[in-house]
Structure 1
Amino acid sequence: MPGTQRKSGGYQAWVVGLLSLNFGILFFDRNALNFLMPFVQSDLQLSNTQVGMFSSALSLTWALSGLAVGRISDKLGSRKPVIVIATIAFCLCSLISGLASSFLMLLGARLLMGAAEGGVMPVSHSMIVAEVAPERRGMAMGVAQNLGSNLLGSGLAPLLLVPVAVASGWRTGFYLAAVPGLVTAALIWFTLREPPVEVENHAHPKVTLREAFAHRNVILCALISILLVSYLVVCWAFMPLYLTKARGFSPETMSWLMATLGVSAGIGSFVVPAISDAIGRRPVMIFFSFLGVILPLSAIYYQGSAVVLAGVFFLGWGLNGLFPMFMATIPAESVDPRLTATLTGVVMGTGEVLGGVLSPFFAGTLADAYGLTAPLWLMLGCTIAAGICALGLIESAPRIVARREALVPAAGF
């Protein structure tokens, strides 16, 4: 059917770039409270326990939203309106955050924000699967999930929001964060088409969600999500404290060491998935999962130049490029691609609930009992366990699978 044909390469690039920008703006606001917290805490008289609750609350509703919205989108066969409505809702939540005058009001805004944002990436991935050629799918999904979120949410956010808060107050920072989302929502609505729905192939009926979860890759990707989300959130929460309090680095040195992670993640967002397009998902998942051990080990044991330590941090954080692969690409390639939004929501949601919500509390308990080195050992265990899980993955990259299938008749002949 003509309407189901993929559009030009230029349009495919626009889809990926715009969805990456949109998710980057959402992530900008997700991280905004972290960078504005020194101003917010003193103004609203918040305890440290209340500060921690903001992160857990957003992670929880983000996860639940990803599970629900992805499933609804798959059932309705409608993607573009879901992303536009969620983006506008996020903008409203940002405005409410700026208006918050109490802990409960700000907590409510974060709960609503997580609910608004959580479904965006699963549905975005399903659009990319429908629009982008399979041989470029891995890199496209990596760019959509990681490039904008890391460049805007991890790199640009502190550089913009802190000066705004100093000059005009922290509330202004939230007001400004809401505006770009309205722009990208309009661009998505007016420039992107609703992706075509695949024609039902009765010779190959659609896989049900229950059957999808019987596939080894889906289960393993959910486990890897828990482990590597835990790795990331524990690093964000405790590495700055470890570097300054346990290692004795100045706050300035700590800040650019942590900024190295954002640069690494931005580059890895397209390099790591692109490598997997060429050589396969499984070897890349295995290599970069185990490579993550060098980050906590170097922080604990390396006593040399901070510049060299930054280089090791850069390499170790390369596992960030795996996230779109185990959260969306591999599950989508392993079962019916029409379940992409659902499976992405489930895998992402599992990681957010069990990793994003629970692991910071567990790491904090370990730190209180055994010192600030304990969370880093937890990171080490998580990345080793993720590498072991990756050993069990079944290769799903279209180019590699096609190459192997072509060799089977040749071998038989």
Structure 2
Amino acid sequence: MSKNRILSYENLVVILMGAAFGFVFFDRLALNFLSPFLVPELHLNNTQLGALAAGLALTWAIAGYAVGTLSDYFQNRKTLLVCAIVIFSICSVGSGLANSFLTLLAARLVMGLAEGPVLPIAQSIMAAESSEHRRGFNMGVLQNFFSALLSNFAAPLVLVAIGQIYGWRSAFYIAAVPGFVVAALIVAFIREPSSGAAPASTASARNTIPLSTMLKHRNIWVCAIVSCLMVSWLLIQITFLPIYLVQVRGLSPSAMSVAVAATGIATAASSIIVPALSDRFGRRPILILSGFVAAIAPVTTVMFDGPLPLMVLLMGLGNLAIGSFSLFMATVPSETIPRTHVATALGFIMGVGELAGGFVGPAVAGIASDVFGPSSSMWIAATLCICAGLLCLILDETAPRVLERHKRMIVSSPA
């Protein structure tokens, strides 16, 4: 019986959907980890580096909401997911071929269009295939564990090593390969989630929801604003941390890659710990705590002058907050809104998060770094995550186990 549970279809979905999103971020963050090599060769400044991250985030936001809505309408999630994975893998090759800021920007813009739909579609598939008591855990592992393991831990070690030996262009080419493999595995082993027995015409009508109706759910608009703040917190650090550690803190590229990879271990652990804690103690308190814990990472980057291992440990502690991303981007919305509208809601929350947090955040931080100094980006990140923690105070609790516990307490209390 134990063996059957391990080899269950639910676990297979977790692994393949997680791998799909993990390699999305592997390809997305390749630019940041390779920035110490390509910035001098292409003569880029912080403003242009921020613009590259912002441009990808802009197209990611547009595609995430638009294609997520289409996947709900047509119920063809698997096909759209496979197409998106293949296209963003091709775009990684395009990044390696770039010979100027504009050609690199063009490749990143197209990559954003392909990568944007991957997470909302993958999470909607995961929500449909998850048992209720494992929903938060599954969605957390999908979104955070694999992305942390592949993009935060493996990517800096692998890509920087390849960049040092063979050049940054070769690193982009190699980064494209895993995406093609994952796409083939999804075609072979993942089925299209069932949408029920309703006729196609009525199902199509049912699977659309006006934005105004969706925003009547308080959790939806709160999660959307938190997404803006926390995505900005994350992408500002991801964009500027590698170059900051090399140019300001004086680390070599190889030492930088080890430091960033070490924090990736904490991020991977958070993807299991944080969602599991939220299943037990509730989404709301864990999200509040995560907002304040997140401030430790950027503040440590700027202020801590002690030994590098201790600095990395403190940065890793702050990165535990990344485990909360699946809660406000996927778990809370999917527990708030009807199942037939989940991909639309997730696409909206991830889309506005990318638009405000991913597009505006790195762009503003890049300008601030050029005007006020490189540490400005880290102080902006710290401020944003604290605001997110405060906003989570008004969330409605959605964790099934916690709600059931509250119901039992009400029933057992004297009249």
- Could you say whether these structures have the same fold, taking a TM-score greater than 0.5 normalized by the shorter chain as the test? yes
SS in 1 for 2:386: helix
The residue number in structure 1 matching 2:386 is 384
1:125-158 superposed Cα distances (whole Å, 9 cap, x missing partner): 0001100111111111111111221211122123
The residue number in structure 2 matching 1:66 is 64
1:84-134 superposed Cα distances (whole Å, 9 cap, x missing partner): 111111222223333334443332221111101110000000001100111
Bigger shift: residues 236-245 or 351-360:
236-245
Determine if contact 1:292/1:318 at 8 Å carries over to the other structure: yes
- Aligned pairs for 1:87-102 within 5 A: 87-102=85-100
Q: Which amino acid aligns with 1:155?
A: F
The residue number in structure 1 matching 2:169 is 171
SS in 2 for 1:75: helix
Bigger shift: residues 103-112 or 212-221:
103-112
- Aligned pairs for 1:273-352 within 5 A: 273-352=275-354
**How much has 1:412 moved relative to structure 2?**
6.7
Q: Which amino acid aligns with 2:330?
A: A
The residue number in structure 1 matching 2:395 is 393
Alpha-carbon distance change, 370 to 25 in structure 1, aligned in 2, over 3 angstroms? closer
Q: 1:191 aligns with which of 180, 189, 192?
A: 189
SS in 2 for 1:193: coil
Alpha-carbon distance change, 380 to 109 in structure 1, aligned in 2, over 3 angstroms? closer
Scaled by the length of structure 1, what TM-score is found? 0.89
**2:278, 2:120 → 1: CA distance?**
20
Bigger shift: residues 37-46 or 135-144:
37-46
Percent pairwise identity: 42
**How much has 1:255 moved relative to structure 2?**
4.5
Q: Which amino acid aligns with 2:366?
A: G
The residue number in structure 2 matching 1:108 is 106
Determine if contact 1:209/1:339 at 8 Å carries over to the other structure: no
SS in 2 for 1:391: helix
Give the CA RMSD over aligned residues: 2.8
Bigger shift: residues 355-364 or 323-332:
355-364
Bigger shift: residues 353-362 or 365-374:
365-374
The residue number in structure 1 matching 2:260 is 258
Q: Which amino acid aligns with 1:18?
A: L
**1:165, 1:373 → 2: CA distance?**
26
Determine if contact 1:207/1:335 at 8 Å carries over to the other structure: no
Q: Which amino acid aligns with 2:236?
A: V
Q: 2:26 aligns with which of 8, 25, 28?
A: 28
1:5-44 superposed Cα distances (whole Å, 9 cap, x missing partner): xx99711011011111111122111122223344444555
Q: Which amino acid aligns with 1:99?
A: L
SS in 1 for 2:192: coil
Bigger shift: residues 396-405 or 82-91:
396-405
Q: Which amino acid aligns with 1:310?
A: V
1:374-411 superposed Cα distances (whole Å, 9 cap, x missing partner): 33332222121111111100000111122323443444
Q: Which amino acid aligns with 2:116?
A: G
Q: Does 2:154 match 1:152? A: no
**1:323, 1:164 → 2: CA distance?**
30
Q: Which amino acid aligns with 2:34?
A: L
Alpha-carbon distance change, 356 to 405 in structure 1, aligned in 2, over 3 angstroms? same
Number of matched residues? 405
Bigger shift: residues 17-26 or 385-394:
17-26
**1:160, 1:290 → 2: CA distance?**
31
**How much has 1:372 moved relative to structure 2?**
3.7
**2:172, 2:301 → 1: CA distance?**
34
The residue number in structure 1 matching 2:358 is 356
Determine if contact 1:206/1:336 at 8 Å carries over to the other structure: no
Scaled by the length of structure 2, what TM-score is found? 0.88
Q: Which amino acid aligns with 2:233?
A: Y
SS in 2 for 1:380: helix
The residue number in structure 1 matching 2:230 is 228
Bigger shift: residues 359-368 or 384-393:
359-368
**How much has 1:355 moved relative to structure 2?**
1.1
**How much has 1:46 moved relative to structure 2?**
5.0
**2:66, 2:255 → 1: CA distance?**
42
Q: Which amino acid aligns with 1:12?
A: E
**How much has 1:367 moved relative to structure 2?**
3.6
Alpha-carbon distance change, 51 to 367 in structure 1, aligned in 2, over 3 angstroms? closer
Q: Does 2:406 match 1:408? A: no
Alpha-carbon distance change, 8 to 147 in structure 1, aligned in 2, over 3 angstroms? closer
**1:92, 1:205 → 2: CA distance?**
31
Alpha-carbon distance change, 165 to 237 in structure 1, aligned in 2, over 3 angstroms? closer
Q: Which amino acid aligns with 2:223?
A: C
Bigger shift: residues 220-229 or 159-168:
159-168
The residue number in structure 2 matching 1:4 is none
Determine if contact 1:138/1:329 at 8 Å carries over to the other structure: yes
